[in-house]
Amino acid sequence: MSRTALATIHLGALRRNLARVRERAGTANVMAVVKADGYGHGLERVARALADADAFGVAALGDGLRLRAAGIGKRIVVLSGPDEAADLAEFRRLNLGAVIHHEAQLAWLEADRDPRCLRAWLKIDTGMHRLGFAPAQAHAAHARLRALPNVDSDIALMTHFAASDEFGNALTARQIEAFDAVTQGLDGPRSLANSAGLLGWPQARNDWVRVGGLLYGLSVVEGKTGADLGFEPVMTLSTKLIAVNRVRKGECIGYAATFECPQDMDVGVAAIGYGDGYPRSAPSGTPVLVNGTRAALAGRVSMDLIAIDLRNVADAQVGDRVTLWGPQLPIEEIAARAGTISYDLACGMTKRVLFVEDAA
């Protein structure tokens, strides 16, 4: 336990980020997206902290089951809907909203004789070409849903942006225009904007915004941090030094001897590695903080350990705290070094990491 890597979840930051989302959303309702175990922050934990959201968005039926088992009574929407006909009974039992995006799901609903009412969201593909009915099929799909006595007549209409994080990309404007055109004459609340859409496309806010990354202080714009966009990081990943070694000039560190000491120097060893979810692709030079001072990786990340160049850190000792990312070291900076995105890192923590809550 004493060597455990810690992921500290700052619940106050999570709540303040939701308040900032509400300020930007205007009159729109806010769906807090908590899929992927709350973007790696803990599904039940973040749902309780985000109790003021108007609804929760999850990826799968199992997530809805977990939230209901945790006593969460808030409206929940499963963003990919039922995966098979047998799921419909659980959707109704748990009172989960279902995104309907495919002909197969419509057929299951039409064959279902369960009298309990289901709340549906009709997804229209306006250019993402992943899930959703083609625009030419949207009116017919809507009519089929409206004809079912066990589907709530208040059917929400939604789409998903492919490039809303690129504020100058005309694709998003075309998607908004396509959605507006195809839904003309259809009743029901509208939902277009994701996190990036909330920031860069105010005309897409409509009745519901579906916000994920911003709630966790994760950037949704390349080259920016969450803090740059006005949101607070919610996760701090940290560990400790378990060794400080004096290594001579010309000696090499770690697997494949990829880092050669340019001088006699202290090298720290910290108890974290890709077995904890720290990215193996992070190269030498990737920053860490040792007692709040910037240092850098030396050599390859291994399964359980990393080596740290301590030349910038005076008097480092065994037991000193090492921060891998957090409010003072943006996760986006680490992700860029590792050739990935912040979402990937936050979602990648393994069971070896101990999660602790900070209420402030």
For the annotated catalytic residues, the residue numbers are: 35, 255
3-state helix/strand/coil string of the chain: CCCCCEEEEEHHHHHHHHHHHHHHHCCCEEEEECHHHHHCCCHHHHHHHCCCCCEEEECCHHHHHHHHHCCCCCCEEECCCCCCCCHHHHHHHHCEEEEECCHHHHHHHHHCCCCCCECEEEEECCCCCCCCECHHHHHHHHHHHHCCCCECCCCEEECCCCCCCCCCCHHHHHHHHHHHHHCCCCCCCEECCCHHHHHHCHHHCCCEEEECHHHHCCCCCCCCCCHHHCCCCCEEEEEEEEEEEEECCCCEECHHHCEECCCCEEEEEECCCCCCCCCCCCCCCCEEEECCEEEEECCCCCCCCEEEECCCCCCCCCCCEEEEEECCECHHHHHHHHCCCHHHHHHCCCCCCEEEEECC
